[in-house]
Amino acid sequence: MIGTYPEVRLSDARSRSDSAKLALKEGRDPQIDVKKQRLANQELASGTFEKYARDWWKVQKPRWRPVHANDVLNSMERDLFPHVGPLPIHELNEPVLLGVLEKVEERGAIETAHRLRQRIERVIRYAKAKGVPIIGNPATEIKEAMSPVPKRRKWPALTKVEEVRALIRRIDTSNSYPVTRLASRFLALVAQRPGMVHRMKWDHLQDIEWSKGPDASPAAHWYINSEEMKLEFDRRGDEEFDHDVPLASQALEVLFEVRKLTGLGPYVFPNCWNSHAPMSENALNSLYRRQGFKGKHVPHGWRTSFSTIMNEKLERGLMAEQRFMIDRLVIDIMLAHLPTGMSAEEFAYNRSRFSERRRELANEWADHILVDAVPLQELIGGRRRAVT
C-alpha cells in the first residue's frame, strides 16, 4: 500500500509507485523495501553519536579488562559526548570531529586524542554495520590533520654483551632475595615483558617433567594467552595472539631451582611477603637501581638488549641475506612483535613454523650472555624472607 490522500501527496505516490515497479522488475518484494526504509528512518531519527558509542561499548566490553572498559567509557563521556554526543551520527563530518580532538590536543593529551579518534572510527564502523547510511568514515580522514604522537622515551638498556654479562654477575652476587635474583636471571633469558614474568604461574608452563630434571624436557615452553599479553585491546581473547615461549635449557634450569622455593604456591615468582600474590612490579626495578644501574638498564630493557645483540650477532654470522631476514623475523616473533603488514593468521602460522628456530635462538642467546656467570645453585643462598 502506497498510502492515502491527502497524507501522501500525488508526486510522492508516483515516486513510490515507480520504486515499487522497479523492485518488482528486479525480483524484490516492494513491501520488504518499505520495511527496510522505515527501519532505516527510525535508526536515523534516534541515532545520535552517544547512542551508538554506548551500544558499541556494551558490545566490546566483554572482550576488555574492566579497567580498560572503564577508561574507554570515561574518555568518551569526558571528551566526546559533551560536544558531539547529541548529534546524529550520520551528520558528523571531518571539521566537527577534528575540532573536538584539537581541544584534547590543546591540553597536551596527544596520545589520548589519537585513541579517541580510533574509538570514533570504530563507533562509526559499528553504526554503518547497523544500517546507518554513512559515506566513508570521517574519523579516518582526519588522522593526517592531527598532531603526531611524540616519540616515547626508550627504556634504558645495555646493548653490549660484555655489559650485559657484567650486569648479570652483579645481580647474581647481590645480597638480595633469592627469588628476585632468579626472576632477574629468568627475565634476562626469555626477554619477555616484566609484568608477564611477575604474573607467571606454574600451570602456564607446559611439557615439563618436574620429577625427572631439566634434561628430560626438551620441548618445555611457557604458554601465555592473549589476555595476559600487552596487545591492542581489541585482540584480547583472540587465540591468534596467544604467545608461547620455547624455553632455553638455562631458563628451564632456573625454573627447577626456583621451584624448590616457591613450588607450593601458584606463582613462579611470588611476592616476597605473600606467596599467593605476584611479585611486585617494582621489585626488579629497585634491585637494578640498588646495584648501580639507574638510568642504564631497567627490567624492560632486556627486550632491547636481546633484539640489539642478537641482530648484530646474526648479521656478523650469516652470509646469506635471506637467512638473516628470516632470523630477524623470528626475533620479532620471539618478542611477540607483530610485524607491520602481517595479518593475525600469518603471525600464528610463522610462530608455529619457526618454533624450533625460536628455541635454537633462545639457546644461543643464553649461551652468549651467561659466559662466566655465577653457578645457578649459588643464587639459592643469601638473604631470604618467609612467605605466607
What pLDDT digit, counting tens, does each position of 204-247 carry?
Answer: 999 999 999 899 999 999 998 766 665 433 444 444 567 889 99
Q: Give whole-number Cα distances, 286 to 171, 180, 290, in Å.
A: 11, 10, 6
- Interhelix angle 10-25/30-46, nearest 10 degrees: 120
DSSP string, 268-312: SSB-SS-TTSBPPTTHHHHHHHHTT-TTT--TTHHHHHHHHHHHH
pLDDT value of residue 19: 63
Looking at the structure, tell me whether residues 20 and 124 fall in a common domain: no
Same domain, 67 and 138: yes
Query: Are residues 292 and 186 part of one domain?
Result: yes
Count of domains forming the chain: 3
Q: 152 in a domain, yes or no?
A: no
Domain that holds residue 56: 49-145
Residue 151 lies in a domain: no
CB 382 within 8 A of CB 175: yes
Q: Are 310 and 331 in contact (CB under 8 A)?
A: yes
Strand partners, 88: 48
Instruction: For residue 155, give the C-alpha cell.
Output: 627504556
Instruction: Name the grid cell of 376.
Output: 645457578
Model pLDDT for residues 162-177, shown as the tens digit of each residue = 999 999 999 999 999 9
Side-chain-facing half-sphere of 22: CA atoms under 13 Å:
8
Same-domain pairing of 107 and 177: no
- Judged by average pLDDT, the poorest of 134-143, 230-239, 298-307, 342-351 is 230-239
Q: What is the pTM of this model?
A: 0.65
Q: Which pLDDT score is estimated for 275?
A: 87
pLDDT of residue 23: 55
Q: Pick the residue with more confidence: 100 or 29?
A: 100
Residue-wise pLDDT for 54-100, tens only, equals 999 999 998 887 878 888 999 999 999 999 999 999 999 999 999 99
Query: In this predicted model, which residue has the larger pLDDT, 17 or 172?
Result: 172
Who's near 268: CB < 8 A, 6+ residues apart? 200, 201, 202, 205, 255, 258, 259, 262
Residue 68 grid coordinates? 580498560
245 three-class SS: strand
Residues 168, 370: contact at Cβ < 8 Å?
A: yes
| Residue 261 shares a structural domain with residue 363 | yes
CATH at 81: 1.10.150.130
Q: What are phi and psi of 205, to 5 degrees?
A: -95, 130
CATH number at residue 219: 1.10.443.10
Neighbours of 159 (CB within 10 A): 15
Q: Both 115 and 85 in a single domain? A: yes
Please spell the DSSP secondary structure of 328-376, one letter per residue.
HHHHHHHTT---TT--HHHHHHHHHHTHHHHHHHHHHHHHHH-TTPPPG
